[in-house]
Amino acid sequence: MRYEWIDEYLLGKAGVSKDLQKDWNWIRYQIGGKMFAAVCLGENDEPYYITLKLEPMEGDFLRQQYEDIIPGYYMNKMHWNSVKPDGNVPDDLLKDLLDKSYQLVLDSFSKKKQREILNGEHSAGIVSCCGTDCTGCGCFGTMCKGCNACLGKVFHAPEGQACPIYECSINQKELGSCGGCECLPCDIWKNTKDPSFSEEEFERNIQERVARLKNSKTRLENFEILEKGN
């Protein structure tokens, strides 16, 4: 598949989870329990369609423009579309379509539910102020309740003190996360390298955390604009 970035890109969006629908052999990406995208796998577990939701008129227009976009595979043909994973749909266009699909499903919820979804990661202590997904850490839920829950005094910080990133972002600058800081990513980030990471792994980790924070910040800003408009 040419779109190797798709898993990281979708999981970087606020409130997104994924699972494997075994009966169909689909990797489903969901928000609030509703699917907005799926990677359909073949007999050898190789992707053969990427399925997403669009407004009917836009989906129809795009299917006329690109032979690699077809009516939704095993889905409602009016609202869903499938993209061939090795076709000629430009990466930027596919990202835009996935964004629209995410937004369409998010908009199907009440405003209260949307806010719960967009804020849920941080309020539940799952994503730290530096964009780290605590669920990916083996210490989460055992020796550590997460950065937010322990006020930054995580197991790897100096005893009795908050992590330097938390101290700067939350305690000193009083931001909700580093996502609201113009210095992102700063020297404090770069000086808190996990010793188990190689330089390449650490740089990739920084990029993933920045993307997660920026995605969450953009969604919240868009929601607040929408809420004010109403």
DSSP letter (8 states) at residue 144: B
Residue 176 pLDDT: 74
Residue with more model confidence, 114 or 79 = 79
* Residue appearing with tokens 């052999």: 25
Q: Which range has the top average pLDDT, 18-22, 92-96, 109-113, 151-155? A: 92-96
- In this structure, how many other beta carbons lie within 10 angstroms of the beta carbon of residue 23? 6
Residue 197 pLDDT: 85
Which whole-number Å values give the CA distances from 84 to 27, 41, 50, 56, 124, in the listed order? 15, 11, 6, 19, 37
Question: Given phi > 0 = left and psi -120 to 50 = alpha, else beta, which region is 146?
Answer: left
38: pLDDT strictly greater than 90 = yes
Is 0.95 topped by the overall pTM? no
CA 166 to chain centre: 21
Helix spans in the chain (H): 6-11, 56-65, 91-107, 111-123, 164-166, 187-190, 199-229
123: pLDDT strictly greater than 50 = no
Contacts (Cβ under 8 Å, ≥6 apart) of 126: 120, 133, 134, 135, 146
Q: Go through 176-206 and write b for each residue having 16 or more CB atoms within 10 A of its CB, e for each that does not.
A: ebbbeeeebbeebbeeeeeeeeeeeebeebb
Residue 192 pLDDT: 85
127: pLDDT strictly greater than 50 = yes
124: pLDDT strictly greater than 50 = no
Residue 131 pLDDT: 86
Residue with more model confidence, 12 or 116 = 12
pLDDT band, very low/low/confident/very high, at 45 (cuts 50, 70, 90):
confident
84: pLDDT strictly greater than 90 = yes
Residue 144 pLDDT: 74
AA letter at 37: A
What CATH number was assigned to the domain covering residues 6-108?
3.90.1150.30
126: pLDDT strictly greater than 80 = no
DSSP letter (8 states) at residue 126: -
Residue 216 in tokens? 């969450």
**Where are the domains positioned within the chain?**
6-108, 124-229
Rounded Cα distance, 127 and 214, in Å: 13
pLDDT tens digit string along 176-194?
788 888 898 999 998 988 8
Nearest to 194, CA basis, from 205, 186, 184 = 205
pLDDT band, very low/low/confident/very high, at 119 (cuts 50, 70, 90):
low
If you average pLDDT over every residue of the chain, what do you get? 84
Residue with more model confidence, 60 or 211 = 60
- Please say whether the dihedral angle defined by the alpha carbons of residues 194, 196, 199 and 205, taken in this order, is positive or negative: negative
pLDDT tens digit string along 14-28?
778 888 888 888 999
pLDDT tens digit string along 86-102?
999 999 999 999 999 99
Rounded Cα distance, 60 and 52, in Å: 13
Rounded Cα distance, 79 and 108, in Å: 13
The vertex-110 CA angle with 107 and 112, nearest 5°, equals 120
pLDDT tens digit string along 195-217?
888 999 999 989 888 888 877 65
